[in-house]
Chains A and B, each alone.
Chain A
Amino acid sequence: MSNANHPASAWLPPIELDVHHTDTDSAAASATATAGASARKTESLGLAALAAWPQGSWTVPAFLGGIAALVVLALAFDAADLMGRSFAASYALGTLVTVILAVTVGTAIKLALDEMVSIRRLRHIDSLRAEADRLLKANGHGEALVFADTLGDFYAGRPDLAPALHALGHTVNDAHSDGEVIALIDRQVLSALDQRAYRCVLVASRDTAIATALSPSAALDVVIVLWRNLKLVREVATLYGARPGQLGSWRLMRRMLANLAVAGVTDSVGHVAIDALGGSLAAAISTRLGQGMINGLLTARIGIAAMTLCRPVGFSSENKPNLRRIRAELMSVPKTVL
């Protein structure tokens, strides 16, 4: 595959490889073909980066780990003490406490494992996106088929994507360059997901817009925006196969916090505006509506950020989601509310 990169110096004259000697007709050829394909497969992606956590100074993790260990130890001692005492009181009580403890520990372990799996999945998506980006930039040949396989494995348990993945297998052929294969994945598999995610974002932003326009207090605004955005991010991430846990991804949370801060700001701005307008009812309604729309737009931005972060192939310049349609949708909100 790389022979093209060494021109005149390593000139190789045209040759016909004699496959008929070793075996009958095309069987041997197809065998070499599959051998080549498997060879390509084995040299595939360096996914070792997947397990790597960002390594900072060791003191902070050690400190936090120490505290966690102490707390766990203390809890364990307490639990053992509690168990001993309850068994001393009566056998039935002891059994009850033991069962409760077992359930608690079991669920805690399961939650932790889920969380780890979800973080792993998010990291996997990150690595997929980096790989897709690299393939698009290099635009070589042959490696993208491996990427398509990896993506197929990633979405293996998704019945809603099975037809699209099947169709992709039919469309992609050996003549497509890596960039073309990635573009086809983008068009045939992910664009349908984009549409659904986009609809989620639209619904969520309308919800926030209407709810904050109608809510009587700023505190309620914050709660609504927090809850709806959290739900939206989880919806979008689940659509793309990330399934974030409670702790989810740090970046998504940070974007949400920024959104909440702005929600507070819009509220105070609203008050200033009402004061300036003399506090009439109409002014109050219009500022509430304006605020609702701003909150709706911010929710949309969070949703689109979540889409960008959870998509296994980065958005290209053509299919970048934009806020225009959402903005148009939000402009019709006052009609819905009034």
Chain B
Amino acid sequence: MLAFSVKDGYNRECVTSESGRRSLKLLDWNQLAHVGEQALGQALGHVNVIAGRVLEGNLRLGVTGLRRAGKTVFVTSLIDNLIRGGRLPFMDVIAANRFLAARLRSSPDRVSPRFSYEKYLAALTASPPHWPAATTGVSQLRLAIRYLPSSGLRRSIQPMATLNLDVIDYPGEWLMDLPMLNQSYHDWSAHTLELTEHQPRRQLAARWLHWLGTITPDLRPDESLAREGAALYTDYLHACRRSQSNLSLVQPGRFIEPGDLAGTPLLTFCPLPAGSGEPRAHSLWGLMNERFEAYKSTVVRRFFVEHFARLDRQIVLVDVLGMLNAGPAALYDMRMALTACLEAFHHGRGGWLSRLTGHQIDRVLFAATKADHVAASQHTHMRNLLDMLVSEARNAIRFEGATVETMALAAVKCTETVATEHQGRKLACIQGTPLGRQRATVLFPGSIPDGPDLFPENVSQPYRFLDFEPPAGVGRDGRGLPNIRLDQALNFLLGDHLA
């Protein structure tokens, strides 16, 4: 009985296992083919994606610049010139005839709006042409550049290579938020209040400072009081922007250009003096502190992480001429602002290791924009001046191991350099249509000295660098927008990725 059962069991087991094996075999055959097919398809898909990632280089270019530095126009001209490729003789990939074409692609980031290149280009090429309006929000665009690799080995593996260039555009005001990331409310308040101790800020901030005098930070948290303070502080920031000296260090940027945050409690705070002793948590100071921290974490940090933390290359546009027009205070302020906000970026040498561990900016270009506002013979001096202005930031970045270059460029060239005779002196002048006028004029805008004495004492307004209208019919020849040294800038920023 027992033996039988065992045998039976054994037999049954045997049978079941055999049938099981048979069915398994059958199943195997069908399923394996199916699964295998699926797996193969998936694997191939993965390989394609990976190969696409490996073979298609990605590069994020950070176009950094304070307000009115010309970021939007720079990005527009960059895209237009790369798409048309007719005015970039100094780009090695174009000079060596390895450039195939560039096309716009949808950005992999589905959240930010697309940079409306067509709209901006239409504005520039309209008749009469006009400059695009100031940027109010973030937008981005991906440009795919197809080229032939220069090395024979790479060309045998990959006859045609692609570089995806991601460019983002944003209001320059927001850049000034970045230094706040490393500051506490206490430090930030102290720093901001310290700035108002000097002219011209002291006068601009008079009403807000007066309001500060009427309150004490230990007051009970009061929403209407907070709103009042924030409104006065915002007025002060607007005044800084509009003032004769065109100040750059204006924080927080969203107070000026709120984007989608207008009227939210996030924007209702202002710096408060720390007062004596430990401030109470449940006070106006505490409320402001809370909001400052919220602003930092939900606005600034998000903006930084989404757009700036993964940059590979950076161009810092500096409107040197605007600052010379505005005077020494503006120049000093801009220098401070630039140094402060560049500290937030990760610079360093981007080797293969840093590609795995995280992004680092390994090339930084400081560019003095609007070089067409001076005669071409002045470009060297313009560049030297920029060198002098950004020396601190440049040295700090070089110290981290990134390559730094300075240049004078113009994204859209609006003037011609002409030589004229004036009272027996030969002058290099510029010819173009100043902003808001109908007719072209010849202008000597003042020369940039080659040295540290930028503002001679006995001259009231040594510089008058006018802005110009975009020339009529610009970009109609289909070769891309006329520019000054955009090709050299691009060659420095992208050249090694297009080899």
Taking Cβ atoms with an 8 Å cutoff, the residues of A that contact B are 1-4, 7-8, 11-17, 19-20, 25-26, 29-30, 32-33, 35-37, 39-40, 139-142, 170-171, 173-177, 180, 183-184, 187-188, 191
> Is the Cβ of A184 less than 8 Å from the Cβ of B89?
yes
Which residues on B sit within 8 Å (CB–CB) of A187?
Answer: 89-90, 95
A170 surroundings in chain B (CB, below 8 A): 479
B interface list, Cβ under 8 A from A: 87, 89-90, 95, 371-372, 376-381, 410, 413, 416-422, 425-429, 431, 439-451, 453, 456, 459, 461-464, 479, 482, 484-485
CB contact between B419 and one of A1, A7, A16 (< 8 Å): that residue: A1
Determine whether the beta carbon of A188 is less than 8 Å from that of B89: yes
> Closest 10 interchain pairs by CB?
A36-B419, A33-B418, A14-B464, A141-B377, A14-B446, A7-B449, A26-B440, A175-B484, A174-B417, A17-B442
Residue in B439, B442, B446, B448 whose Cβ sees the most chain A Cβ within 10 Å? B442
Which A residues touch B429, using CB under 8 A? 17
Q: Chain A nearest CB: distance from B387 CB in Å?
A: 15
Partner of A141, one of B425, B428, B459: B428
Q: Are A141 and B376 in contact (CB under 8 A)?
A: yes
Q: Separation in Å of the B368 CB from the closest CB of chain A? A: 13
Which of B380, B419, B425, B450 contacts A139 (CB under 8 A)? B380
Inter-chain residue pair count (beta carbon < 8 A): 134
9 pairs, A vs B, C-beta closer than 8 Å: A14-B443, A15-B422, A25-B439, A26-B440, A36-B426, A141-B377, A174-B417, A175-B417, A176-B376
Q: Give the residue among A32, A35, A139 with the most B Cβ atoms within 10 A.
A: A32
* Interchain nearest-CB distance for A276 vs B (Å): 39
Q: Which of A14, A37, A180 has the most CB of B within 10 A?
A: A14
Chain A's closest residue to B448 (CB) is A4
CA distance A26 to B449 in the complex (A): 29
What would 8 more interface pairs be, CB under 8 Å, given A177-B376, A184-B90?
A11-B459, A14-B462, A16-B444, A19-B442, A29-B440, A33-B420, A142-B419, A174-B418
Minimum distance in angstroms from A227 CB to a CB of chain B: 34
Cβ of A40: which chain B residues have Cβ within 8 Å of it? Answer: 419
Structural contact, B377 and A13, CB atoms closer than 8 A: no
* A85 CB → nearest B CB, Å: 69
Chain A residues near B462 (CB, 8 Å)?
11, 13-14
Taken together as a complex, chains A and B put the C-alpha atoms of A191 and B92 apart, in Å, by 12
A-chain residues with CB within 8 Å of residue B440 when the two chains form the complex: 25-26, 29
Min CB distance B216 to A, Å, is: 50
Determine the residue in chain A with the shortest Cβ distance to B325.
Answer: A14
B271 to chain A, nearest CB (A): 38
Q: Which residues of B contact A188 (CB under 8 A)?
A: 89, 95
B431 near A29: Cβ-Cβ < 8 Å: yes
For the complex, give the distance between the alpha carbons of A184 and B487 in Å: 12
By a CB distance below 8 angstroms, the chain B residues around A8 are: 449, 453, 456
Chain A residues near B431 (CB-CB < 8 A): 26, 29-30, 33
Bound CA–CA A8/B413 (angstroms): 29
Question: For residue B457, which residue of chain A has the nearest CB?
Answer: A8
Helix, strand, loop or mixed for chain A's interface?
helix
Cα–Cα, bound, A177→B379 (Å): 9
Nearest-CB residue, chain A, relative to B483: A175
Are A1 and B444 in contact, CB atoms less than 8 angstroms apart? no
Instruction: Return B402 CB to nearest CB of chain A, in Å.
Output: 22
Point out the residues of chain B lying under 8 angstroms from A36, CB to CB.
418-420, 426
A20 to B434, CA, bound (A): 14
Which of B421, B426, B456, B485 is in CB contact (< 8 Å) with A11? Answer: B456
Residue in B closest to A191 when the chains form the complex, CB atoms = B95
Q: Are B444 and A14 in contact (CB under 8 A)?
A: yes
Across the interface, A175 reaches (CB within 8 A) one of B90, B371, B439, namely B371
Checking B426, B484, B485 against A1 with a beta-carbon cut-off of 8 angstroms, the contacting residue is: B426
Q: Cα distance A197–B456 when bound, in Å?
A: 55
Q: Are B444 and A20 in contact (CB under 8 A)?
A: no
Q: Are A12 and B413 in contact (CB under 8 A)?
A: no
Q: Knowing A187-B95, A188-B89 touch, does A1 contact B377 (C-beta < 8 A)?
A: yes
The smallest C-beta distance from B16 to any residue of chain A, in angstroms, reads: 69
* B95, B419, B420, B428 interface centre (most CB from chain A within 10 Å): B419
Q: Smallest distance from the beta carbon of A186 to chain B beta carbons, Å? A: 10
Q: Complex: how many Å from CA A2 to CA B428?
A: 8
| Complex Cα–Cα for A37 and B419 (A) | 7
Report chain A residues within 8 Å CB of B425.
3, 12
Picked from A20, A30, A33, A142, the residue with its CB within 8 Å of the CB of B377 is A142
Chain B residue, CB-CB nearest to A40? B419
Q: Write out the residue numbers on chain B whose beta carbons fall within 8 Å of the beta carbon of A12.
A: 425, 427, 444, 446-447
Contact B456 A32 (CB under 8 A): no
Contact indicator B419/A39 (Cβ below 8 Å): yes
Bound: A4/B385 CA distance, A: 13
Give the Cβ gap from B204 to chain A, nearest Cβ, in Å.
27
Contact A3–B447 (Cβ < 8 Å)? yes
Known: A13-B446, A14-B464. A4 touches B456 (CB 8 A): no
Give the docked Cα–Cα distance between A139 and B384 (Å).
14
| Assembly CA distance A12 to B462 (angstroms) | 8
Instruction: Take A3-B426, A187-B89 as given contacts and tell me if A14 and B445 are in contact as well, using a CB distance cutoff of 8 Å.
Output: yes
Which among B371, B377, B380 has the highest number of chain A CB atoms within 10 Å?
Answer: B377
CA distance A40 to B413 in the complex (A): 23
Do B441 and A13 touch (CB < 8 A)?
no
Question: Could you tell me if A14 and B463 are in contact, using CB atoms closer than 8 angstroms?
Answer: yes
Are A175 and B89 within 8 A (Cβ)?
no
Cβ B378 vs Cβ A4 within 8 A: yes
Instruction: Give chain A residues whose Cβ lies under 8 Å from the Cβ of B459.
Output: 11, 13
**Alpha-carbon distance A3/B378, docked complex (angstroms):** 10
Please indicate the chain B residues that have their CB under 8 angstroms from the CB of A16 in the complex: 441-444
Q: Are A7 and B441 in contact (CB under 8 A)?
A: no
Which residues from A are CB-within-8-Å of B485?
Answer: 175
Partner of A17, one of B416, B443, B451, B484: B443
Known: A3-B425, A36-B420, A40-B419. A15 touches B377 (CB 8 A): no
Contact: B377 with A4, CB < 8 Å?
yes
The interface residues of chain A lying within 8 Å CB-to-CB of B95 are: 187-188, 191
- Which residues from chain A contact B416 at a C-beta distance below 8 Å? 33, 174
A174 → chain B, closest Cβ, in Å?
A: 4
Q: Which residues of A contact B90 (CB under 8 A)?
A: 180, 183-184, 187
Bound CA–CA A39/B482 (angstroms): 26
| Docked complex Cα distance between A123 and B318 (Å) | 47
B458 (CB) vs chain A CBs: closest residue: A11
Q: Find the B residue at minimum CB distance from A11.
A: B456
Residue contact A33 to B419, C-beta cutoff 8 Å: yes
